[in-house]
């Protein structure tokens, strides 16, 4: 092997680097993700993230002297996206959009291009996956475009850099980073070193010319190409597109944002003319809800700054085999087991020889503890085969001794429930004082799950 080159093994999932092959990655605990790559040693460092370059004079500046204006942001007018981005696209920022193949990343970014070019900004869409014809066909489904949007099918980064410098667009879309390659790196496109190196180059371009860059990254399960996780530390904003391909709803979640809050979500629906914003997700999530079935309750979870009402369903049936089965979709499995143990011990439900299936409707995933009480009520309702009143909204965190703890932003949750026509709220007693009397909706406070059981 030539001098200055060595082989290392990279985890294709998280980018963990190791001198030898390993079956399981110590970083992310995934199996069989290590792939050998040749790297050149002793070469250039990563590009600096700021404006200054190594050779130029770079003096410290007083923080108060630096000018930054909020109106440096470009609004896409796709409200769900603007909110997730923290109020629009920041000039010169780099946004990574990750998600499973086929979830709608290219569609969303083409729609962003349409909005930006419609407002007179010059946009360059670079695709390494689809031909110009394919993009045109998709664009025809989405709507009318003007000639401020330029397309380029290219995977060589040197050509891309030259084109960007020549065209000088205000925003660039790279679809996808896993298809891009740099001749200086000897490993194949999609490998960890290629993906990192390509992102580094794009970052230089973005910061140097003040261009906003969107990068698409596929999430892959088999580990043959590097996932977007290996880039998370390099970019400014990381958005993930979640949802089932079979379910029409798509959730855009921000997991890192240097210019806004994380955990903000945007909800979209995939239709035949592209992604359509869902302005009132609670209403959409509750559509088609059974009204007289046991095991169905509605909970309220705060996602970012917005309350979302969603239905939790539980089905508890007698175990046919020795070991009871527990399944949960959209809610943490261990949390469900914990809550069932609390029900068993503190409310006297004998769940030991019963199977339990817990499901969150609409393909959503929630992790907020405030949905605990909803899970508990759904399981108990199915177990007793008694219906919970359809006009009752439930929220509260459940502790190990069966106590119901107060949650944050209780007032927003009550307000959303009232807005959507619910008649009562079952909530933590601790939250009651601050809200009592402000709303017409009936508020029921409970301090432990035994008290809550009376409403089944
Ligand atoms: P796409 O954006 O190509 O996914 P990704 O870039 O994340 O791989 O989305 C592809 C899916 O979306 C595909 O299955 C077709 C569907 N789709 C619609 O249902 N309606 C539409 O208007 C468009 C453009 C795509
Ligand atoms: Mg695509």
Asked if 398 contacts 343 with a C-beta cutoff of 8 angstroms, the reply is no
| Residue ranges with CB less than 5 Å from ion ligand 2 | 106
Q: Are residues 182 and 111 in the same domain?
A: yes
Residue 173 beta carbon below 6 angstroms from any ligand 1 atom: no
Query: How far does the centroid of ligand 2 lie from the alpha carbon of residue 98, in Å?
Result: 11
Residue finishing a domain among 279, 294, 324? 279
Distances (CA, A) of 37 to 29, 47, 135, 194: 20, 21, 33, 10
Give residue 286's pLDDT band: very low, low, confident or very high (50, 70, 90): confident
Q: Are residues 185 and 224 in the same domain?
A: yes
Structure tokens that stand for 315 in this block: 């089905």
> The CATH number of the domain where 161 resides is what?
3.40.50.300
Q: How far apart are CA 246 and CA 103, in angstroms?
A: 10
pLDDT digits (tens, 9 = 90+) for 5-31: 788 898 888 888 899 999 998 988 888
Q: Are residues 245 and 181 in the same domain?
A: yes
Residue 252 beta carbon below 6 angstroms from any ligand 1 atom: no
> The CATH number of the domain where 403 resides is what?
3.30.230.10
Q: Which atom of ligand 1 is nearest to the CA of 175?
A: 6
Domain that holds residue 411: 284-455
Q: Are residues 84 and 221 in the same domain?
A: yes
Count CB atoms within 10 A of the CB of residue 385. 11
Q: Are residues 87 and 234 in the same domain?
A: yes
Q: Are residues 221 and 352 in the same domain?
A: no
Q: How many domains, the chain?
A: 3
Residue 107 beta carbon below 6 angstroms from any ligand 1 atom: yes
Ligand nearest to the CA of 108: 1
Asked, for residue 56, whether it belongs to a domain, the answer is no
Asked, for residue 151, whether it belongs to a domain, the answer is yes
Ligand nearest to the CA of 109: 1
Q: How far apart are CA 348 and CA 341, in angstroms?
A: 10
pLDDT for 52 = 46
Q: Report whether pLDDT(297) > 90.
A: yes
Distances (CA, A) of 352 to 335, 348, 358: 16, 11, 16
pLDDT digits (tens, 9 = 90+) for 350-363: 998 999 999 998 77
Task: Identify which of 104, 214, 215 to mutate to test ligand 1's pocket (most ligand atoms within 8 A of the CB).
Answer: 104
pLDDT digits (tens, 9 = 90+) for 202-257: 999 888 898 999 999 988 766 556 777 888 888 999 999 887 777 778 889 888 99
Q: Are residues 270 and 361 in the same domain?
A: no
Residue 212 beta carbon below 6 angstroms from any ligand 1 atom: no
Residues 261-286, mean pLDDT to the nearest whole number: 86
Indicate the pairing of strand 249-257 with strand 265-271. antiparallel
pLDDT top residue among 42 and 181? 181
Asked, for residue 364, whether it belongs to a domain, the answer is yes
Give this prediction's pTM. 0.80
Compute the residue count for the chain: 456
Residue finishing a domain among 279, 306, 336? 279
Asked, for residue 190, whether it belongs to a domain, the answer is yes
Q: How far apart are CA 290 and CA 337, in angstroms?
A: 25
Asked, for residue 47, whether it belongs to a domain, the answer is no
Asked, for residue 57, whether it belongs to a domain, the answer is no
Name which of 54-58, 275-279, 342-346 the model is least confident about: 54-58
Q: Are residues 263 and 386 in the same domain?
A: no
Q: Which atom of ligand 1 is nearest to the CA of 105?
A: 7
pLDDT digits (tens, 9 = 90+) for 394-417: 999 999 999 999 999 999 999 999
pLDDT for 71 = 62
Q: What is the mean pLDDT of the chain?
A: 88
Task: Identify which of 112, 127, 174, 270 to mutate to test ligand 1's pocket (most ligand atoms within 8 A of the CB).
Answer: 270
Query: How far does the centroid of ligand 2 lie from the alpha carbon of residue 175, in Å?
Result: 7
Q: Report whether pLDDT(312) > 50.
A: yes
Q: Are residues 103 and 145 in the same domain?
A: yes
Q: Are residues 241 and 357 in the same domain?
A: no
The H helix count followed by the E strand count for the chain is: 11, 23
Q: How far apart are CA 273 and CA 248, in angstroms?
A: 13
| Helix, strand, coil percent values for the chain (each to nearest 5) | 30, 30, 40
Residue finishing a domain among 235, 252, 279? 279
pLDDT digits (tens, 9 = 90+) for 363-401: 788 889 999 999 999 999 999 999 999 999 999 999 999
Percent of the chain with pLDDT over 90: 54
Asked, for residue 11, whether it belongs to a domain, the answer is yes
pLDDT for 167 = 92
pLDDT for 44 = 53
Query: How far does the centroid of ligand 2 lie from the alpha carbon of residue 105, in Å?
Result: 6
Q: Are residues 34 and 77 in the same domain?
A: no
Q: How far apart are CA 265 and CA 335, in angstroms?
A: 22
State the DSSP H helix or E strand holding residue 137, giving kind and residue range, or none if neither: helix 132-142
Asked, for residue 390, whether it belongs to a domain, the answer is yes
pLDDT for 431 = 92
Q: Are residues 381 and 405 in the same domain?
A: yes
């Amino acid at each position: 092997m030539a001098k200055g080159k060595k082989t290392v093994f990279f985890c294709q999932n998280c980018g963990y680097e190791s001198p030898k092959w390993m079956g399981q990655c110590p970083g992310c605990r995934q199996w069989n993700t290590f792939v050998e790559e040749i790297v050149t040693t002793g070469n250039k460092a990563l590009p600096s993230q700021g404006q200054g370059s190594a050779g130029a004079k770079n003096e410290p500046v007083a923080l108060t002297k630096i000018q930054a204006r909020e109106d440096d942001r470009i609004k896409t007018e796709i409200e769900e996206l603007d909110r997730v981005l923290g109020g629009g696209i920041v000039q010169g920022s780099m946004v990574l959009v990750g998600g499973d193949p086929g979830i709608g990343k290219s569609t969303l970014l083409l729609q962003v291009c349409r909005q930006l070019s419609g407002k007179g900004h010059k946009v360059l869409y670079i695709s390494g996956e689809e031909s110009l014809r394919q993009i045109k066909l998709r664009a025809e489904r989405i709507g009318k475009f003007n000639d401020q949007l330029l397309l380029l099918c290219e995977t060589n980064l040197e050509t891309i850099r030259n084109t960007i410098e020549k065209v000088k667009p205000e925003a660039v879309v790279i679809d996808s980073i896993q298809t891009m390659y740099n001749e200086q790196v000897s490993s194949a496109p999609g490998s960890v070193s290629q993906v990192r190196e390509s992102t580094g180059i794009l970052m230089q371009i973005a910061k140097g010319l003040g261009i906003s860059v969107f990068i698409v990254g596929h999430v892959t399960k088999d580990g043959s190409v590097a996932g977007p996780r290996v880039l998370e530390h390099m970019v400014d904003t990381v958005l993930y597109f979640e949802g089932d391909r079979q379910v029409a709803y798509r959730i855009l979640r921000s997991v890192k944002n240097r210019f806004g809050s994380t955990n903000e979500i945007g909800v979209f629906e995939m239709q035949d003319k592209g992604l359509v914003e869902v302005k009132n997700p609670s209403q959409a999530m509750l559509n088609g809800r059974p009204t007289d079935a046991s095991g169905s309750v509605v909970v309220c979870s705060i996602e970012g700054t917005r309350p979302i009402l969603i239905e939790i369903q539980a089905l508890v049936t007698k175990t046919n085999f020795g070991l009871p089965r527990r399944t949960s979709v959209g809610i943490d499995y261990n949390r469900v087991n914990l809550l069932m143990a609390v029900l068993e011990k503190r409310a006297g439900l004998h769940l030991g020889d019963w199977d339990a299936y817990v499901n969150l409707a609409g393909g959503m995933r929630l992790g907020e503890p405030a949905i605990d009480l909803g899970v508990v009520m759904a399981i108990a309702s199915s177990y007793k085969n008694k219906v919970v009143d359809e006009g009752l909204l439930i929220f509260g965190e459940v502790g190990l001794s069966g106590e119901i703890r107060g949650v944050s932003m209780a007032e927003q949750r009550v307000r959303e429930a009232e807005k959507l026509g619910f008649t009562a709220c079952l909530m933590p007693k601790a939250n009651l004082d601050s809200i009592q009397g402000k709303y017409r909706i009936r508020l029921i406070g409970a301090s432990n799950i035994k008290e809550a059981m009376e409403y089944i």
